[in-house]
Amino acid sequence: MSFGLVVVIGVGAVSTAVSSASAGAGEGRLNVDAIPADARHLASWVVRAGAMCPELNAPMVAAQLDLESSWNPAVVAHNPADRGGDAVGIAQFQTGTWATWGGDYDEDGRNEPADPEDAIVALGRLMCDNIAWAQRGVGSGQLSGDVLDLAWAAYFCGRRCVSDAGGATAFDYPQQVRSRTGRYTLVASVGAWQFPLPAGSYELVSRFRTASRPSHDGVDLAAPAGTPIYAVAGGVVLDAGCTSAYCDRPGNPELGGCGLRVNLNHGGLATRYCHAVRLNVTAGALVQAGDVLGWVGSTGNSSGPHLHFEVHLHAPPMSSATAVDPAPYLGL
């Protein structure tokens, strides 16, 4: 296992990230600046924990620590004995759980949940074992749902609790972790952004999750039909195609789906482009910023020609939990 320091210099600011050499989800780069100043010395331990299995990464571990303790290694949550007793430290381990997953990983002579370095690594070990348990359960049909959600739910209340509940949907813990992950993810691979429509061709008609549209996970940019849709940054086409019952003609507000849609993976960040009249790319294609993905239309759940555009952090996979406001990225 190897670790490196990545320094990204922008206009007027320096942002620091610690990255892991592991593959898969472990490629997530930790935004150290998001960690409270008095806990930033723990960043290398977060990276170590996030590199323990391919499905996990450092921003996920950081998000979980944020949720468990707000990075406070001295916090104690008092629980009755029949609920496992007190939960202690930065990762909120209970005595019985610590007996299995704890250890003196930093060789300082301390082996207790109040030792933050040990607790962070123990969290990684337990999460990876939970992930393996969830994969076995899903594979055998005994569990259903997203493997990470099942693993996070098991960290929260135990595996038997998750099994008895029939999955992870009964718990909001997984979504709370997901909602914090973007804050700890440094996206430095996308380069300069291209606006997704030509200058002067669009009007912003709907923003991200307004009071009247709380489930609107992007921004709507009205533009004439046939206006080219550009990739905002270089990436790989995750998928491109029709997501509605039909896409050979304009849709309507009663029709479900995004119409003709393109999803792009930029590496730790993904973007979505909806309601095109025609597409110019296929899944697996490599694109650069400014490449034409398709042309504005009104397919799917739409009342007129426009581009619905989304930004997702810590993605893929893309879901409402990973969506963030695109406005700061587009300068809107």
Confidence label for 314 from pLDDT (cuts 50, 70 and 90)? confident
In this prediction, residue 7 carries a pLDDT of 25
Task: Tell me the pLDDT tens digit for each residue of 121-167.
Answer: 999 999 999 999 999 999 999 999 899 999 999 999 999 999 999 88
Question: Are residue 54 and residue 172 in the same domain, yes or no?
Answer: yes
> Where is pLDDT greater, at 308 or 329?
308
- For residue 58, the enclosing domain spans 3-184
| Reported confidence tier of residue 16, pLDDT bands at 50, 70, 90 | very low
Which residue, among 223, 317, 222, has the nearest Cα to 270 in the 3D structure?
Answer: 317
177 in any annotated domain: yes
Confidence band for 73, pLDDT divided at 50, 70 and 90: very high
178/214 same-domain check: no
194 in any annotated domain: no
**What is the structure's pLDDT at 195?**
94
Q: Stretch 179-192: mean pLDDT, rounded?
A: 66
Instruction: For residue 193, tell me if it sits in a domain.
Output: no
Banded model confidence at residue 191, pLDDT cuts 50, 70, 90: low
* DSSP symbol at 208: T
213 pLDDT more than 50: yes
Whose structure tokens read 């990464």? Answer: 57
Say what the pLDDT of residue 193 is.
84
Regarding whether 173 and 214 lie in a shared domain, the answer is no
Is 232 found in the same domain as 153? no
Domain end marker among 154, 184, 214: 184
Question: Does 178 share its domain with 91?
Answer: yes
Mean pLDDT of all residues in 277-297: 93
Residues 178, 224 share a domain: no
Total domains present in the chain: 2
Q: Are residues 63 and 116 in the same domain?
A: yes
Last residue of a domain, one of 153, 184, 215: 184
pLDDT average, residue stretch 242-252: 96
Q: Are 64 and 126 in contact (CB under 8 A)?
A: no
User: Does pLDDT of 21 surpass 80?
Assistant: no
Residue 183 predicted with pLDDT over 70: yes
Which residue, 156, 184, 212, sits at the end of a domain? 184
Higher model confidence: residue 53 or residue 25?
53
If asked whether residues 213 and 169 sit together in one domain, one would say no
Q: Which of residues 16 and 86 earns the better pLDDT score?
A: 86
90-99 burial string, b = 16+ CB within 10 Å, else e?
bbbbbeebbe
> So what's the pLDDT on residue 2?
22
Least confident range from 179-188, 264-273, 286-295: namely 179-188
Specify whether 162 is located in the same domain as 212: no
Model confidence band, residue 295 (pLDDT cutoffs 50, 70, 90):
very high
Rounded-to-integer distance, Cα 128 and Cα 119, Å:
14
Q: Kindly state whether residue 197 falls inside one of the protein's structural domains.
A: no
Q: Which residues contact 15 (CB under 8 A, 6 or more apart)?
A: 7, 8, 9, 31, 33, 186, 188
Average pLDDT over residues 40-51: 91
Mean pLDDT of 290-307: 96
Task: Mark whether 212 and 178 lie in a shared domain.
Answer: no
Query: Has residue 196 been placed in a domain?
Result: no
Q: How confident is the model at residue 108, as a pLDDT?
A: 83
Query: Are 18 and 164 in a shared domain?
Result: yes
Q: pLDDT by residue (tens digit) across 227-243?
A: 999 999 888 888 899 99
Mean pLDDT, all residues of the chain: 85
Q: Specify the higher pLDDT residue, 23 or 108.
A: 108
Claim to verify: residue 177 and residue 289 sit in the same structural domain: no
pLDDT at residue 332, rounded to an integer: 85
